[in-house]
Structure 1
């Protein structure tokens, strides 16, 4: 129930009341990894200390969870990082030994200070890299994994998918994961697959957006609406079960008295 309530809170995050993006532009925002997706290892970024770091340096020869993030996002990115951090802790795997965690800023305008505030208290130091890059570098990385965004100038906001990706040590994309449905078991399996060089099941398209509220029509997108209905039904069923259990216990106490 706690997980259901958390997910419900995420999809009900303060919604976008208006948008400068057209319906067609929003429709192009998705995570659609090509079959041979491969991150260029030589791409240069900058870490939180201001040092130049390549993707190869950040991966450091380990299977990797790559998280594209908008460091100033006020929708789902922050809570999604919390979910990912919690899931990683429950995998039984150790950062810096079994896997690397790489968080890349998708908005080149974000500074290292934005990145530091975004990740503060959420992640450890071992095996973790938080990176910012130039517009060309960021664009090259996102295009290589099929991660498509759109900038809404009227709101100074970046519409983007709510999704992560696991990489093999050579930069190959192994599995794409939705940040709204991330389970520790699935994440552990994805990292183990990446470590063994296996290619998991890449979904054809992940279109759960941080822009999940369809501001063009003023309604939730069909995927978000489906999640809301499912979580609502789960919450009601759970509450009904708890109430029923409480009534049974109350009757038993009365009978024993």
Structure 2
């Protein structure tokens, strides 16, 4: 997975996250250089990582949260008001516009990496940004100990840094689409998080179990660009498909004319 260009955007987003903090931030350029989102090849989130559901306090694993469905995983600092709030709100709006059914076609899972943000803060933040509705009702809001959180974030290449001076985190503003088995299918940029991109990413991660024929036809003509984190037209495929359609159309026209000629002028 080529993610340098996209990782650079996430690194920039991490720096922007610090702009709302006091000027005396204690993170050095070296600290910030390690902040980013760059999944290693074949990245897979550990499904046995154990967390707590902030909604009801029950324990559950990441695998149980995914429930075998394609999932938008969003690592968040539930106390962050600079990047996490608008990012979750933007994702919620885009997900609602995909036309997919939350909880059935896909899962939305948030993962809190700030151990100082309690479950009440997590619930309030997610509720405020998603609003009441099916998406909120099906969302899984995870909190947990540093060990399991780090196991997941490390596995998917999500790196953040804690600033002791401001008691805040520098972190990437990014989201990951996981297949039902925890494999990282796509990394999406919140700077370009559209309903189309989310739908195509979830359809791809669903491997034929989500979406319809029209989605699969679109995926033939659109490809994921890891440099931008969005789906862009594959011009060669579009031209090839258009050319094939033209040839078939001409062939059908000739065949029709030939049959008509034979009917009008029988031997």
Tell whether the structures are fold-level matches, with TM greater than 0.5.
Answer: yes
| Inter-partner Cα distance in structure 2 for 1:140 and 1:205 | 26
How far the C-alpha of 1:181 sits from its partner, in A, is 1.9
SS across alignment from 2:187: strand
Matched, 1:31 2:37: yes
Matched, 1:162 2:173: yes
How far the C-alpha of 1:106 sits from its partner, in A, is 1.2
Q: Which residue of 1 aligns with 2:71?
A: 64
Matched, 1:173 2:184: yes
Aligned pair in 2 of structure 1 residues 127, 71: CA closer, same or farther (>3 Å)? Answer: same
SS across alignment from 1:46: strand
SS across alignment from 2:162: strand
Q: How does 1:13-92 map to 2 (within 5 A)?
A: 15-16=20-21, 17-48=23-54, 49-92=56-99
Aligned pair in 2 of structure 1 residues 89, 169: CA closer, same or farther (>3 Å)? Answer: same
Whether the aligned pair in 1 keeps the contact of 2:17 and 2:82 (CA below 8 Å) is no
Query: Where is the helix percentage greater, Structure 1 or Structure 2?
Result: 2
Q: Which residue of 1 aligns with 2:3?
A: none
Aligned match for 1:144, one of 155, 168, 181: 155
Cα deviation per residue 1:68-112 (whole Å; 9 max; x = unaligned)? 000001211001111000000111111011101100101122210
Aligned pair in 2 of structure 1 residues 14, 34: CA closer, same or farther (>3 Å)? Answer: closer
| Inter-partner Cα distance in structure 2 for 1:13 and 1:38 | 29
Gaps (5+ residues) in structure 2?
Answer: 1-15, 209-215, 217-222, 230-267
Q: Which residue of 1 aligns with 2:226?
A: 203
- TM-score normalised per structure 1: 0.71
Rg comparison, structure with higher value = 2
- TM-score normalised per structure 2: 0.68
| Inter-partner Cα distance in structure 1 for 2:137 and 2:25 | 40
Q: How does 1:202-221 map to 2 (within 5 A)?
A: 203=226
How far the C-alpha of 1:125 sits from its partner, in A, is 4.0
Gaps (5+ residues) in structure 1?
Answer: 1-10, 207-257
SS across alignment from 2:108: strand
SS across alignment from 2:129: coil
Aligned pair in 2 of structure 1 residues 59, 30: CA closer, same or farther (>3 Å)? Answer: same
| Inter-partner Cα distance in structure 2 for 1:154 and 1:205 | 33
State how many pairs are aligned.
195
| Inter-partner Cα distance in structure 2 for 1:130 and 1:24 | 32
Cα deviation per residue 1:170-229 (whole Å; 9 max; x = unaligned)? 00000001122211111111111110189x8583799xxxxxxxxxxxxxxxxxxxxxxx
| Inter-partner Cα distance in structure 1 for 2:101 and 2:228 | 30
| Inter-partner Cα distance in structure 2 for 1:179 and 1:137 | 25
**Larger RCO (CA under 8 A, 6+ residues apart):** 1
SS across alignment from 2:191: coil
Q: Which residue of 1 aligns with 2:108?
A: 101
